[in-house]
Structure 1
Amino acid sequence: MITLAAAAPDTMSWSQVIVLSIVQGLTEFLPVSSSGHLRIISELFWGADAGASFTAVIQLGTEAAVLVYFAKEIWQILTGWFRGVFNKDQRGFDYRMGWMVIVGTIPVALVGVLFKDLIREGLRNLWITATVLILFSFVFIAAERMGKKARGYDELTMKDAIIMGLCQCLSLIPGVSRSGATISGGLFRNLDREVATRFSFLLAIPAVLASGLFSLPDAFNPEAGQAATAPMLIVGVAICFVLGYVSIAWLLRFVAHHSFSWFAAYRIPVGVLVMILLALGVLQPY
């Protein structure tokens, strides 16, 4: 363990909050697993797991960035959905998109509630994180090679939403990556890479907002992980918002011209390095 600042095992330090918030903001939308990176860095520099609740709460900042970046699109979907609910003649693409986001969110909501304790404790073993970082990288590669990337945004269907929603459940395991899982699902469905990425962002909004708000009380007095104060969480959310917005803009430009396999080339060495550090005793699995 490399010590950056002294802190009680059950209380986060300001340096920890700032560093982890920067990591969260930069990696939330990249298919490298923000939760996995937070877990690794917390253990490496502070010898303690900040916890799933802290992660869930500061993710509110990155989701706020999604709301701002896609504000026009989200407004169209919301208004189109409400118009369609009360008027059958108004049931266009935005109405269907609203239902796709709602239905696609149901799987991760059910899994998150049913397996809350396992997600907050059991799955945060660093051996699991390292293994998943490596293995899921090959899913990216397979999705890129097998997906035809021929279907546009207006060709999204409920079947796409359900499959990508089921894939989102995998993101509850640190090391998988929410965007990586859902985008891979979209690529396997032959969606264009940018289309799969945009829908991945929209699909995450209800799940992440609900998770963050649900975890807010626990972040102050967690059952597992470290506690944070209200000012710490506010600062963390603000950092995540700014860096998350930048990350969204960068990723959408990147995927328009580059393969997701580039991220696999990053994830695999990181996973191997974590395994080595675990084997040497530099890192502890919990």
Structure 2
Amino acid sequence: MTLFYLLLVALIQGITEFLPVSSSGHLILLPQLTGAMDQGLVIDVAVHVGTLGAVVAFFWRDVRGAVAGVPRLVAGRIDTEGSKLAFLLIIATIPVVLVGFVAKVTGLADAMRSITVIGWAMLVFGLVLYWFDQKGPTTKGAGDWNTRDAVILGLWQAVAIIPGTSRSGITITGARALGYTRADGAKIAMLMSIPTIVASGVLLGADVVGQANWMLMQLAGIAALFAFVSALLALTFMMRLLRSVSFTPYVIYRVILGIILLTISYT
């Protein structure tokens, strides 16, 4: 793997992780469209760590509050904003962990890694995002997040096991369907990504034990750093952009890419 290709992987992961355009779909497409070798699990784990660092840094105040609320949650008390947030994030993460585990052990996750699946997911779920973004009410803020909505958004997030769906995109779609504003829906989706990325990293990390060597670890460190920087920039850009525009630009990109991929797949 060349350094250029490594940086390309890190940049794609970082930029697309938090935009509603599917990071996993782009990473699957990269080796298929370029003919290059797959980057491997070690690099996958590294870029996940990088993007995790970015979202933690961006939402540090909320993350710090949730972490501080864990001891109270363990003691059975959900009486602070932090303990409530920690509880809701755990509830929202359970569905995707269960579905992801089943997909992995049954081989379904590997079976869906195709241009056809990614193309349809890009197209269909892009249009679904557009529909709820345009038609959904804007009556709720991040402070209105409750157990019922956490369960519902957790189920929406579980759909992201399909490559090309976009974890952030489908969660934002669910948030808009529930009536959350664009900015607050995106914030909830980003916070939900933290335990999901941790769970994904642990699952991938279990497969890479014993595979890494010093040279590969150096490359992984470089990939993590570039993924961190690009993810932080992309996240900052999207959250600021939502103050003035809708999710339509991302939908247009998804639809165009989906049509291109389906054309390639069926011809």
For normalisation by structure 1, the TM-score amounts to 0.84
Q: Which one of the candidate residues 180, 185, 191 is aligned to 2:180? A: 191
Q: What do residues 224-255 of structure 1 show as CA deviations (whole Å, max 9, x unaligned)?
A: xxxx9222222111110011111111111112
> What residue number does 2:89 align with?
101
Residue of structure 2 aligned with 1:181, choices 163, 170, 175: 170
The 1:84/1:120 distance shift into structure 2, 3 A limit, reads closer
Q: How far does residue 81 in structure 1 lie from its aligned partner after superposition?
A: 3.9
Partner of 2:101: 113
Q: 2-side partners of 1:158 and 1:185: how far apart?
A: 14
Q: Identify the residue that residue 28 of structure 1 maps to in structure 2.
A: 17
Q: Does 1:242 align with 2:196?
A: no
Alignment deviations for residues 51-88 of structure 1 (CA, whole Å, 9 cap, x no partner):
67743541111011111111121111222342354484
Q: Given the superposition, is the C-alpha separation of residues 156 and 40 from structure 1 closer, same or farther in structure 2, using an over 3 Å criterion?
A: same
| 1:201 alignment partner in structure 2 | 190
Look up the match of 2:246: 259
Q: Does 1:229 align with 2:216?
A: yes
**Shift in Å, 1:278:** 3.1
Query: 1:54–1:219: 8 Å Cα contact kept in structure 2?
Result: no
SS in structure 2 of the partner of residue 161 of structure 1 = helix
| CA distance 1:186–1:53, shift in 2 (3 Å) | farther
TM-score, normalised to structure 2, is 0.90
Helix, strand or coil at the partner of 1:169: helix
1:16 aligns with 2:5: yes
**Equivalent of 1:73, from 46, 62, 74?**
62
Whole-angstrom distance in 2 between the partners of 1:153 and 1:161:
11
1:6 corresponding residue in structure 2: none
Instruction: Give the gaps of 5 or more residues in structure 1.
Output: 1-11, 223-227, 281-286
Residue identity in the other structure for 2:91: V
Q: Alignment RMSD, CA only? A: 2.2
The number of aligned residues is 263
C-alpha contact (below 8 Å) 1:58/1:212 kept by paired residues = no
Residue from 147, 164, 170 that aligns with 2:153 = 164
Q: For residue 283 of structure 1, what is the aligned residue in structure 2?
A: none
Paired residue for 2:116? Answer: 127
Q: 2:175 aligns to what SS in structure 1?
A: helix
CA contact (8 A) 1:52 1:120 kept: no
| Contact 1:103 1:161 (C-alpha < 8 Å) held by counterparts | yes
d(CA) in 1 for partners of 2:262 and 2:54?
Answer: 33
Q: Is the CA contact (8 Å cut-off) linking 2:92 and 2:192 kept in structure 1?
A: yes
Q: 1:32 aligns to what SS in structure 2?
A: coil
1:220 CA displacement:
7.4
User: Is the Cα–Cα contact under 8 Å of residues 57 and 216 in structure 1 kept in the other structure?
Assistant: no
Instruction: Choose the corresponding residue for 1:268, options 232, 247, 255.
Output: 255
Q: Which amino acid aligns with 2:236?
A: A
* Identity value in percent: 27
